[in-house]
């Protein structure tokens, strides 16, 4: 019996060898494929976790940006109230002085300037804070800057850009806008009968002659703040300088200019809607300019944060922040 088995093995030895090699190859291949599959699954899981982490971090950045914009808008209103001081002029008018016509003319210019500057300043704030917190968020997410850098101090100094804009840039904006508003509205006398279309024509003139979008870096990156960034005595001033250069580049890029254009366009439509509501409030289709001003002042004061909230929720605004954030998340270490 054993001799027959031995003969069988000898006769089919080649087949057994080939079969063993094939079986071994199948086993090795199976183990290799299983190993690669486990590697791929682990990589996919890591990718999903990383994507989830980024999404959660981005949502936090977006929420922080929005709340910061609202906080800055409150401060902007206070700055404009102090700079234009319309209430003081109204108090003088109530005492019926001899120069009350001149005072009403000044109220007209300041009231319209207030609305226009609000639109430009709010638009600049939205863009600036989208850029700043997008850059900071991307750096924090990937630690793309050297670890020895004091990030908290650098980021704190970097965010002072917005404070300088609210302190000085807004005042520069008031002077620029007021000059153009005078040219657009000075020919409309207080007793002259006006309609919403008269405001539309004047607002279009202002829109075409105030170059805020093109000069956004000039207003936002104020010279006094820029000097502190280039001060070698400040630790990590080179990093701050780099962030300043990156901010300026983004402010001048097509996506940012398109967003600013969209924000300002919506803002001027908002101003025209305030005019329309003023005439509706008066129950008139046309009336003397002086009669419109008190109603327009009320509408301007009640404007609230609707414009800012709507613009922050717009796809273009959110996508812009996402693009800045992703760009600095993917920035190679320096």
Q: What would the pLDDT profile of 50-77 be if each residue is shown by its tens digit?
A: 555 667 778 888 999 999 999 999 999 9
Contact 302, 63 (CB under 8 A): no
Average pLDDT over residues 215-232: 77
Q: Are 128 and 243 in contact (CB under 8 A)?
A: no
Q: Under a CB-based contact definition with an 8 Å cutoff, are residues 246 and 131 in contact?
A: no
pLDDT digits (tens, 9 = 90+) for 27-55: 666 566 566 655 555 555 555 545 556 67
Alpha-helical segments (H) within the chain: 2-11, 13-84, 86-94, 100-142, 151-164, 170-185, 196-209, 216-220, 223-229, 237-251, 254-282, 289-301, 306-313, 315-329
Between helix 13-84 and helix 306-313 the angle, nearest 10°, is 160
Average the pLDDT over each of 130-134, 221-225, 287-291, 306-310 and give the range with the smallest value. 221-225
Q: What is the pLDDT of residue 144?
A: 46
**Coil, strand or helix at 236:** coil
Is the Cα dihedral 78, 320, 55, 329 positive or negative? Answer: negative
Q: What are phi and psi of 287, to 5 degrees?
A: -170, 170
Instruction: Give the list of residues 6+ apart from residue 310 with CB closer than 8 angstroms, or none.
Output: 266
Total-model pTM: 0.83
Whether 158 and 132 have beta carbons less than 8 Å apart is answered as yes
For residue 313, which phi and psi values (nearest 5 degrees)? -85, -10
């Amino acid at each position: 019996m054993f001799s027959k088995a031995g003969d069988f093995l000898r006769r089919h030895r080649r087949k057994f060898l080939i079969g063993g090699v094939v079986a071994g190859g199948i086993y090795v291949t199976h183990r290799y494929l299983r190993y690669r599959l486990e590697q791929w699954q682990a990589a996919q899981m890591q990718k999903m976790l990383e994507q989830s982490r980024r999404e959660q971090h981005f949502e936090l950045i977006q929420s922080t940006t929005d709340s910061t914009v609202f906080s800055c808008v409150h401060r902007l209103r206070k700055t404009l109230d102090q700079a234009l001081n319309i209430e003081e002029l109204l108090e003088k008018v109530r005492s019926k002085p001899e120069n009350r016509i001149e005072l009403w003319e000044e109220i007209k210019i300041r009231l319209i300037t207030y609305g226009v500057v609000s639109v430009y300043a709010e638009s600049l704030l939205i863009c600036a804070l989208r850029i700043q917190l997008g850059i900071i968020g991307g750096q924090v997410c990937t630690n793309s800057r050297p670890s020895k850098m004091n990030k908290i101090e650098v980021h704190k100094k970097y965010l002072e850009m917005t404070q300088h804009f609210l302190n000085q840039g807004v005042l520069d904006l008031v002077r620029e806008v007021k000059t153009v508003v005078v040219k657009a509205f000075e020919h409309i006398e207080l007793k002259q009968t006006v309609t919403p279309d008269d405001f539309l024509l004047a607002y279009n003139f202002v829109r075409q002659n105030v170059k805020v979008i093109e000069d956004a870096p000039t207003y936002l990156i104020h010279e006094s703040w820029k000097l502190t960034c280039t001060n070698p005595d400040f630790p990590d001033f080179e990093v701050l300088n780099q962030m300043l250069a990156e901010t300026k580049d983004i402010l001048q890029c097509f996506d940012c200019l398109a967003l600013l254009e969209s924000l300002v366009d919506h803002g001027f439509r908002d101003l025209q809607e305030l005019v329309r509501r003023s005439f509706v409030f008066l129950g008139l289709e046309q009336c003397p300019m002086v009669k419109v001003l008190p109603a327009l002042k009320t509408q301007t004061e009640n404007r609230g944060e609707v414009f800012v909230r709507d613009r922050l929720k717009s796809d273009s605004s959110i996508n812009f922040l996402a693009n800045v954030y992703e760009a600095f998340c993917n920035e190679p270490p320096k």
